[in-house]
Amino acid sequence: MFDGALVLLGLFALSFGIGVVAPLAGVGGGVLFTPVMLGFTNLHPDLVRATGLAIACYSSIMAGVTFFKQRIAPFRFILLVSTVLLPSAIVGAQAGIYVTALGKWGQGLVRASLGVLMFFVLALLLVKRLDWPEPRCSSRVVEVLGLRYIYFEKTLEREVVYCPSRLGIGLPLLALVGFGSGFFGLGAAWALIPIYNLVMRLPLKVTAASASASLAIADTGALWVYTHSEKMYPELVITAALAVLLGAQIGAKLLLRARVRFVRWLILAIMAFNGVQLLTRGLAEMGITLVRII
């Protein structure tokens, strides 16, 4: 399925580069890894998606443990959203494997739809976040489930009260996010953050912690589907995950010195180019050309 040490060496170099630039752009490594690998390599989509999920899952678990220890990630809220994210991610992973099994047309559909999704990701990354949304904790559901939280914010030197709002809107959106995470093998923090922050009105720091912690659960379920279907190769996962994590250590240090604004816009431009590449390549595999569409 993949050919020897040379492929693994190239995968390591590419994954290392992704790990370095991801923190500078303010995105997760999985958001760059899966689209780049599907757009510019000939590895089977199932292998790429399984590896991308493994990277996102491992990173989320490491971050999630830290956030739980620091009591920034609200445990009961994470359990609530996981009842939606986990099954939808499993269904998404099964649907993804089914589609690619259709042959060249199915693989093209995955690439083309991921290309469209990349532009949606870009739009969400450009949306301004709210540091301290006004809490609305009068909901009966919040009271029954005990979703009202207080934590001490050191930067403000005071306690912050918060609770999730508009669960009736947020939970269905999370189901779509979970499905997409499993289907594309894409870490979905880019989608969870605006939902948690702008829709469900959690503070931005709590939002980031909750996104990592909840993805650690959802991605594990989706990854199990790919593993059970024998779509994951340990050599690929270990090589790519190790390279991304090593690169991220360097990227985090460069973040203190780099002109982050310039780097961020550069990576967003690369993501846009990658989206075009995925879309055109996917449509070509489906026997459709952009000229015919236009």
What does the pLDDT look like over 22-36, one tens digit per residue?
A: 666 556 666 778 888
Going along the chain, which residue ranges are E strands?
149-153, 158-162
Cα gap 55→239, rounded to integer Å: 10
Domain limits, the chain? 4-293
Q: Which residue has the higher pLDDT, 107 or 252?
A: 107
Q: Which residue has the higher pLDDT, 262 or 273?
A: 273
How much of the chain, in percent, has pLDDT values that exceed 90? 10
Give the other-Cβ count within 10 Å of 90's Cβ: 20
pLDDT higher than 70, residue 42: yes
Mean pLDDT across the chain: 80
pLDDT higher than 80, residue 64: no
Helices (H), 70-157: 75-100, 104-125, 140-145
Weakest-pLDDT range from 74-78, 95-99, 224-228, 260-264: 260-264
pLDDT higher than 60, residue 1: no
Rg (Cα) of the chain, in Å, rounded? 19
pLDDT higher than 90, residue 87: yes
Q: How far apart are the first and last CA of the chain?
A: 36
CB 92 within 8 Å of CB 183: yes
pLDDT higher than 60, residue 292: no
pLDDT higher than 50, residue 294: no
pLDDT at 293: 46
pLDDT in tens, 110-153: 888 888 888 887 887 777 777 778 777 777 888 888 888 887 77
Q: CA dist 98 to 78, 152, 160, 236, 271, Å?
A: 29, 47, 46, 22, 27
Average pLDDT over residues 163-177: 90
pLDDT at 174: 92
pLDDT in tens, 232-266: 888 888 888 888 878 877 876 776 566 656 666 77
Question: Among residues 103, 89, 113, which one has the least CA distance to residue 38?
Answer: 113
Helix, strand, coil percentages (3-state) for the chain, rounded to 5, are: 75, 5, 20
